[in-house]
Structure formats: C-alpha cells, structure tokens
Structure 1
C-alpha cells in the first residue's frame, strides 16, 4: 500500500475541518468566542442593547426584545428540525428498531440523570439554584459531531451512530423537561386553541394533504397559541413537526424534503445566531473565584463528570448483565471517549439556562451569566478531553484514504 504523500498528510486536518459534520461545531466555537470577546470589549453596551433593548412595550406584544424573538421565535425552527428528526428516527431510523435503540436510550437516560444529580449535589443546597438542575442534562449534537468529524475515520461507524442516537434521545428528554418543568402560569383558553390547531394539522396529514403551505400556516398559528398559553413557545415547533407526513407520495416524503431544506438554515443561521445572542458573558462582575461558586461549578461538573459517568457506567452495566450488546468493533476506551464528548452541552444547555433563571433583575442576570460560564467551561473541557482520549485510543481506518478523493 502506498504511503500518503507529505502534502496529503498536511491537508488532512483542513479537509476534516470543512467536512459538514465538523464545520458546524467549529462555527459554534467561533460564534461563542466572538460573543465573549464583544461582550467584554468597548462595544459591549451596543451588544447588550442590540439583543436586550426594548423594541416596544410588553403590552404591545409579548416578544419585546431581539433576544426574545431569537429564543422564543427563531429557535422554533431549531425545535421544528429536532421534531422532524425524532419522528423520522422513530418511524424509519435508529429508534425504530428495539435492538438498536435500547442501548443509546438507556445511556441517554442515565446521561441526563447523573449530571442533574451532580449539579444538585454541588449547587442544590443553595437557595434559588435548584431550578438549574437540567442545565447540564443535554448534549449538543452539532458540537459533539463536529469533534467526531475532526477525528476523521478514527471513530468507528457504530460509535458515531451511538453518539448521534444518544444526542437525539437527549433532545427528546430536554423538550419534555422544558414542557413540564419550565412552564409558566397556564392559560386554558390558549391551550385549548393550540389543541384545536394541532388537531387541524393532524387532520391535514390524515386526509392526505400534499401541499406544504397549509402546514406552515397552521404551524404559525400554533406557535402564537402556545406562546400565549404559558408553555414555552418552542414546544410548538416540536408538535408541528410531528404532524408533518412521513409517508412517501410520488416517491417523495414531505417530512424528509422539509428536513433536508431546513437543516442547513438551522445549522448555519439559527443555531449560530442563538449562540451569538446567548454566549456573550460580561466578565466584569465575574472573577476567577466565581468559577468555584456552586452554580458554575455544578453545571461544569455535571457536564464533565456527570455525563461521562452516567453514560459509560450505564453502558458497562447493561452489557455486563446481558441487557444489550456492546457496539460492534468498539473498545471500552473508545466508548469512554465518546461518553466524555456527550458532556458538550452548548445549545440546549444555554437555552435551559435562560429558562431556569428568568427575570430582569441583577440577581437573575448574574445567575444566568454564571450558568453560561459553567456551560462554556464544561463544554470546552469535555470537547478537549474527549478529543484527546479518542485521538489516543483510536487509529485511522484504511477507508480514510479514499482513492476517489481528488485531494488524495
């Protein structure tokens, strides 16, 4: 077998960087870093005013800042894509086969419970901090798969699939957590209206409507109803997605067509804009000593320690007692490395952090900033540690040198 040339060896990292699954993660890192720099620069006031300055009075419309439009409006697209992905996986994907879903489902449940337990152990005793228990519970798919992408084919395909499925189940759990635990006072009238609109969308699918525009129109009305119901508005995105027909007509699936159309917008616009609006932490009131405060420490430890401990111990126990089989062609060291990567909780953790500590007062603002610090520190440590472990315990698979690759 011919040895790769010096040029081939030199360009491989750049090839890996710009692969689709890695570039999304790199983009999130860049956006978060840019937000941090701007939030602590001479234009920090302009940054804050851009996202938190009032557009109009709250009496005029509930979403009265750019930040609210992003978190309660634009992020509906993110949750809509999550809902499409979940439905597709449940019907025709990895979650449709019990033999394939049992291990990642068990691992995801343990990977949500253990970080919450670690957080509560470190921060739950402090007054007012209990609401942050779910912040370290979810895995950021784009960020984690981005790190995997940088490793090329070092990570075996079954382990990539395991990570992706765990992250999808995490998203399901996070959506349920938001709906159940971070819901404000409910309006029964608006809930009833939302139920009627949702029923209309279900009927559209049952009666074989093939045009997309009725679903889009109904989804917008559903979003408004949920927005005023007290349930977080982004839940409307998931509910609307579950009504999009999966069944193929004329060789095309509406769900898959919509998902394929929205994924690039979601990855390269929606999530980066959300990250830029939410990751900027003003460090002027936060010193190094604050990193050891219960809130950031609990969040960071939940992501770094809780995630890997919950997932790896669950997989090990489930395999040892014979409930499931270990992922094919994967070593325990590789499974441990991927378990560490699941501690990257950027997007969903930032989102839950905003919901956990609402309000405009200085105390709540400081709690949100400390939560963000914990998320960023925990996610970066998980990314670097997971990458380092996988880099050490894996090897490049032969298929990396694709003879059809023009660069090779």
Structure 2
C-alpha cells in the first residue's frame, strides 16, 4: 500500500470517527481518565492551580463551567426542540416510553440519594446529582456493540437522555438558582422578547440571534439564574422549519439545523472534553476506601446504578404490562436491562449539578468519586449484559436463516 493510500485511509477513518455522534463519548472517557491521572501525578499542583487563575472577571474554572458550557446547553436546547417538533419525539406515542422512563429514572435515584443522606441537611442539597444520564457516554458505550443492539434501542436511549437533559435543565432553573437580580432578569426578558420577534419575522440569518444571545448570557449571569440556561433560552427561539425530507436536506433551510450542525463537533470534541478535564480530576492523596462508604458518595453511586436501573426498567415493565406500549422493536428484556444500566452513566450533567450543589471542595470530591464509581459500575454491568444478550439475539436470528 502506497503512502498516499495509507494517508487517505487514515483521513477517511478519522472523518468517520468525527462524524459518528457517539464518538464524543469515547473521547470523553479518555479525557476523564487523563484528568484523574494528572490530578494524582506530580503535576497535580499545576492542574488545580491553573483552574483558579483569573482571566478578566472570572476564574478559568468559571469561564469553562459558566461560559463554555452555555454553548453545550445551547446544543442541548437545539436537540430538544428539534426532537420535540420534528424528530423522534414529535408525537405523543413516541414520547410515552422514553418520557415515562426518563421520569422514573430521575425520581428513583433522587429518592435513593435522599434515603442515604437523610439527617444530613447539607448533603441533601445534592439530591439531583444522580438523576442525570450522560448522553455522549451512554451512546458511546452502546455504539460499541454495533448491530448486536437493535437501532430501536439506541433511539430509545437517545430519546430518554434528551428528555433527561430537559428535566435536568428544569431542575437547575428551579432548585439551583441563587438570589435573583430583578433588574437583570427584566433585561433578559426583553432580550428574549426580541429573539421571539426575530423568530416571528422569519429572520433566517444566525448572527442576530447569536449577537443577542451574548447579551442574554451576560444578563442571565447577572440575574442569579445559572448563566448556562441562557443557552437553552436562546435555542428555543432559533427558527425550525419542519420538512418531510431528511434532516440532512433541511440543514440548508432551517437556522436551527444549521446551527446544530455547526456546533456538534466543537461541543463533542472540544467543549465537553475541556469541561470533563477541568472537573473530573480528583486527587486520591490522603483518602481511603472508607470514602466509598460515606452517605454522600454512596447516595450518588447507588442512585446512579440501582436508581436508574429500577426507575427506567421498572417504568418500562409497568407500561408494557399494562399494554400501554411495547418494548423497542427487536429488543429483548435482557437488552433492556443492559440499556437501563447504561442510563446510570451520569458524567457531564451530574458533575455540573454537583458543582452547583456544593461549594466545599471536600464535598465536591465525594460527589466526583460517587459519580465515577457509579458510572463505571453501571457502564461495565450494562456492557456485559448487552454483550451477552446481543450474542444470544444474533444467534437466534441467524439460526432460522441457516435452516
């Protein structure tokens, strides 16, 4: 093989990887491991110090968590709007199963966390931490099984995670908002009103929305509501043109599709990995295994693993038992158990909520260890089950054909 052919094949493989939506989860896994390694290496002092360096009015950590992550929330908002109006969640029949499963998958983990931390008033502030599913991580894991997992199950997981993100956004707005600055909030409302006017007037250029979006971020930041929610508010005003054709065909017609398409790779391969690297690093120096038995750590970990499993699987089982819906096409109950476990991979949004819930670095470290332990356990257990039942499913499909 010539060097030109080799270079072409490498470029083709890289392009395919970057175009794969689940690849961001694989990158995020590697970044999380790297952050933990750096935080426990001789470079640990530099790692933690640089995040506290101020760049203008904010520290580097705040620029990452408040500004960069606003772009992540903008993409989340665009995905929610698209799926609700012109995608997999555009009808109530399509919303019932993932919607109910997402609700169960948020309620049960929160209850488990509260049970573990009852009597600890400060720790109870983190009740929402295990309620979130990391869509990039979960899809990254399930994508590794290829055709052994039916497409319908991947769609179910993606839809559930999107609705889960919507729930997390609502929780952040309602329960993790500081004292409100009414004047700044009024200014934000005026900006949103202008964005809606642009939408109603049929303005298709993106720059007017993005220019006002910057003003919206500044006002929301000053209002006391977490600044990242400005991204969601902006997303909901971006025009979406419904088309009977493929989503690809509408990229050039709909401002929402164009913006979503442009944001996907920067968010998946830059913004979320930067957030993960800045926040996943936890130093194990001076800690012992006893930290795993702390109520806060246990509440997060058990909430993610058992809470998501019971909440998601239990809701699906009840709906199927009552004949209100069916399992995703060609999916077995074993695969559904594995997928429910994957919902316990709560990284990006769980870390984000944990940072909002606690300012004490010691409590934040317990949260991070709980998230990492729960996510790893849920991911490994879910992968084992999907691999096991995926092979059985493949053999059961292949046997009749050979006969």
Specify which of 361, 364, 371 is matched with residue 368 of structure 1.
Answer: 364
Query: 1:22 deviation in Å?
Result: 4.1
**Kept after mapping to 2: 8 A contact 1:21/1:149:** no
Query: 1:251 deviation in Å?
Result: 5.8
Q: Deviations over 1:83-135 (max 9, x none)?
A: 00000011111111111110110000000000001111112322310011000
Distance verdict in 2 for CA 1:281–1:150, change over 3 Å? same
Measure the CA separation in 2 of the matches of 1:134 and 1:220: 28
* Aligned equivalent of 1:117: 111
Aligned residues: 375
> Is 1:377 equivalent to 2:378 in the alignment?
no
Query: 1:162 deviation in Å?
Result: 0.6
**Kept after mapping to 1: 8 A contact 2:108/2:303:** yes
Name the SS of the counterpart of 2:152 in structure 1: helix
Q: Deviations over 1:136-163 (max 9, x none)?
A: 1010011000001111111101111110
**Residues 388-407 of structure 1 aligned to structure 2 (within 5 Å):** 388-395=384-391
**Kept after mapping to 1: 8 A contact 2:342/2:382:** yes
Query: 1:283 deviation in Å?
Result: 1.3
* Aligned equivalent of 1:145: 139
Query: 1:180 deviation in Å?
Result: 0.3
Measure the CA separation in 2 of the matches of 1:26 and 1:204: 38
RMSD (Å), alpha carbons: 2.0
Q: Deviations over 1:310-345 (max 9, x none)?
A: 000110011101222222211111111100000000
* Aligned equivalent of 1:298: 299
Q: Deviations over 1:2-57 (max 9, x none)?
A: xxxxxxxxxxxx99x9582443222111111111111111111111111123345x
Specify which of 194, 197, 209 is matched with residue 215 of structure 1.
Answer: 209
Query: 1:194 deviation in Å?
Result: 0.2
Moved more, 163-172 or 208-217: 208-217
**Kept after mapping to 2: 8 A contact 1:135/1:353:** yes
Q: Deviations over 1:281-320 (max 9, x none)?
A: 0111321111110111110000010001100011001110
> Is 1:65 equivalent to 2:48 in the alignment?
no
* Aligned equivalent of 1:44: 44
* Aligned equivalent of 2:311: 310
Measure the CA separation in 2 of the matches of 1:190 and 1:272: 31
**Residues 3-402 of structure 1 aligned to structure 2 (within 5 Å):** 18=17, 20-55=20-55, 61=57, 64-247=58-241, 252-358=253-359, 364-395=360-391
Name the SS of the counterpart of 1:211 in structure 2: coil
Measure the CA separation in 2 of the matches of 1:184 and 1:291: 30
Measure the CA separation in 1 of the matches of 2:216 and 2:252: 29
Measure the CA separation in 2 of the matches of 1:251 and 1:40: 47
Name the SS of the counterpart of 1:327 in structure 2: coil
Measure the CA separation in 2 of the matches of 1:76 and 1:286: 33
Distance verdict in 2 for CA 1:305–1:250, change over 3 Å? closer
Query: 1:210 deviation in Å?
Result: 1.9
Measure the CA separation in 2 of the matches of 1:177 and 1:385: 28
Measure the CA separation in 2 of the matches of 1:51 and 1:124: 33
Moved more, 325-334 or 238-247: 325-334
User: Structure 1 regions of 5+ residues with no counterpart?
Assistant: 1-13, 359-363, 399-408
Name the SS of the counterpart of 1:336 in structure 2: helix
* Aligned equivalent of 1:401: none
